[in-house]
Structure 1
């Protein structure tokens, strides 16, 4: 973690330029992109043109889109949360250049495809912050992201979807 804390911040423009250099195989497993996020933190001030806020729900703001990925900035007011959702058949990496967020991961205990229901149990919860990005586990891709009231600050997350 010490090395991550010392990483020099880059502008979102430089971040995108480097992300665009990754070949297609880099997006088929989680390791290479999560290491990129660890060593390439984005300078918060460079994100200003991409940030919009709404008191009712988090906002999704497109930064870049290529045939290999989409890069989205998500703005979270205090207390906002995503619904529990599934990234099956899609890789997702997340970094938090502003504030901090919690990611609660779930395990599917059982499912009834005919009824369209499933039973979930909490697998683990981790905190994302400017020095700790993460990748969604492809084997357990169900999670939710939230900004707990006790954090008492806005947050911005960057999501790379592939």
Structure 2
């Protein structure tokens, strides 16, 4: 194997390790950067993300800025928005460069996800149409920083079982807002609260993952494979991987 190829593989491993470790240092990311670049279209957003993730070290705050800076335009994303009658769908928009991927999720009336984690990755969720509601839960039986330890002490005082799901937040996500979560911030469940309107959201995961855990109410976690309902606007059974 050529040395350049070995070096590239090592770089990719180091990048993935760096991105996963970086989840320990990021909490709420809400506002765009004061002097960040403008994003005029979905193709502009994708190009800007590729440039950002081409760097040796990714600035998560810049990624958040780019997601916030893009204003939803249905003419740009409609071709990726594939719905299913019975469940929400995950539709691949861009596979990134191995450090991230970009998906559009489509939520029918009343559709919701299970409570799940994000495999130690960063998750950005931007609303493109309608509204979603995000419920967050403490990650059961997981060590963490000082704030988590304080929460654990409070729960011990209240006689809460460490293995049970404990809700720690509940908020709506309106159009063009961005929600950010990683496993150190907890788990979440996402729901379209409307029974008359559909919702569409744009998700960025870095690094990408194909397995996560879903959680039952007693805190038991079950490994789950995550798949794509479509890729690049094309629905194909072979794309479910």
TM-score (ref. length: structure 2): 0.56
The separation in 2 between residues aligned to 1:160 and 1:76, in whole angstroms, is 17
The gaps in structure 2 that reach 5 residues or longer are 1-29, 33-37, 143-161, 207-241
Question: SS state of the match for residue 126, structure 1?
Answer: strand
Q: Give the match for residue 33 of structure 1.
A: 63
What pairs up with 1:58-97 in 2 under 5 angstroms? 58-66=88-96, 67-97=98-128
The separation in 1 between residues aligned to 2:72 and 2:176, in whole angstroms, is 10
CA gap of 1:60–1:96, structure 2 versus 1, over 3 A, is same
The separation in 2 between residues aligned to 1:144 and 1:24, in whole angstroms, is 32
Whose helix proportion is higher, 1 or 2?
2
2:198 to 146, 154, 157: 154
The separation in 2 between residues aligned to 1:78 and 1:9, in whole angstroms, is 30
Whose strand proportion is higher, 1 or 2?
1
Q: Give the match for residue 114 of structure 1.
A: none
What pairs up with 1:109-128 in 2 under 5 angstroms? 109-110=140-141, 118-128=163-173
Report deviation, 1:71. 0.3
| Rg (Cα) greater in structure | 2
The gaps in structure 1 that reach 5 residues or longer are 112-116
Q: What is the CA RMSD across the aligned residues, in angstroms?
A: 2.4
Kindly tell me the number of residue pairs found equivalent between the two proteins. 149
Contact 1:15 1:42 in 2 (8 A): no
Contact 1:81 1:144 in 2 (8 A): yes
